[in-house]
Amino acid sequence: MTSAVPTDRNEERRRRVLLGPLPASFLRADVATDTLDADYEAALALHQTMSGAMQMPATGPPLQARLSITIAQAKLVKNYGLTRMDPYVRVRVGHCIYETHTDPSGGKTPRWNKVIHCLLPPGVNSIYLEIFDECSFTMDELIAWAHIGIPPAVIKGETHEDWYPLNGKQGDGMEGMINLVLSYAVTPAPTMAYQPVMMFPGGMGYMPYQQAMPQQVPQPQPQPPQPQPVTEEQLEQIKEMFPSMEKEVIKSVLEANNGDKDAAINSLLQMSE
């Protein structure tokens, strides 16, 4: 009698599990649609972030944020070179690095006046720069560095110029100053950055590569110089200079030089040597 109770309970559980109503989405292929859409949106956002601050407006072409940095000059407190220093600047914006030219013998007052145009990725609100002394026989020496935040006024479209303190061996903000000019603009992205997706009968596909590439405009080819007619007067003049040459040979040399008498005379001189 005691063993009949568990058996009845097991039978009841089987009926409940096996014969119960199935959910409406059971064995349906569209249950993962929302997940796929979310994954696609996340991948698209990551692609836009890594490709240079592309902003996808509701209508029109995609936009890109571009930061302009003018590295004008610096005033350093110490000369670390054996003679006068040859400074140059290295700037990092996001994952991209840019350099100025070297100011030979710039010493403590180098001038560059270098303008750098770079893409500003989303979330990047500062730049990092370093000043090096270019050395001939050893590694370039790091003189000073600074971590500079982009002023909010620049993002709003204003041009901002200021002197920023430099860090170094003398201490934070004690290595001198650097003069920068910052400006910001949002411009249309190049058409080759993103290709439109087109719907075709039977499915979706990307625009063919040949159509995506810009059409090359054929450049006019330079025309070869037109040969000048050989005149009897030219033949007689050259014949007087080369009396031992046959007239037919002189005529052939003239025609080979497109009727240029001077070039023909040079050729005949080489032949007669």
Specify whether 177 is located in the same domain as 83: yes
Question: What is the per-residue pLDDT for 258?
Answer: 75
CATH code of the domain covering residue 237: 1.10.8.10
Specify whether 108 is located in the same domain as 175: yes
CATH code of the domain covering residue 110: 2.60.40.150
Specify whether 175 is located in the same domain as 89: yes
Specify whether 168 is located in the same domain as 243: no
Could you give the CA distance from residue 139 to residue 94 in angstroms, rounded to a whole number?
A: 25
User: Can you say whether the dihedral through the CA atoms of 164, 64, 45, 96 is positive or negative?
Assistant: negative
Could you give the CA distance from residue 179 to residue 185 in angstroms, rounded to a whole number?
A: 21
Closest C-alpha among 201, 185, 255, 264 to residue 227: 255
Note the pLDDT tens digit of each residue in 34-80.
Answer: 555 565 565 555 555 544 445 555 556 677 888 999 999 999 999 98
Note the pLDDT tens digit of each residue in 168-182.
Answer: 999 999 999 999 999
What are 34's strand-pairing partners?
A: none
* Residue owning tokens 């002394």: 133
The answer on pLDDT for 256 being more than 60 is: yes
Instruction: Please indicate, yes or no, if residue 21 is contained in any of the structural domains.
Output: no
76 contacts 68 by C-beta, under 8 angstroms: no
Q: Please, which pLDDT band fits residue 233 given cuts at 50, 70 and 90?
A: confident
Specify whether 107 is located in the same domain as 179: yes
Torsion of the alpha carbons at 180, 181, 182 and 183, rounded to the nearest 10: -170
Cα–Cα distances (Å) from 255 to 44, 68, 247, 260, 261, in that order, read: 67, 60, 12, 8, 10
Number of domains within the chain: 2
Instruction: Please indicate, yes or no, if residue 265 is contained in any of the structural domains.
Output: yes
Boundary (domain end) residue, out of 188, 211, 246: 188
Domain extent, residue 92, equals 63-188
DSSP string, 154-177: HHTT--EEEEEEEEETTEEEEEEE
Specify whether 173 is located in the same domain as 265: no
Note the pLDDT tens digit of each residue in 166-222.
Answer: 999 999 999 999 999 999 988 777 655 444 444 444 444 444 444 545 556 666 776
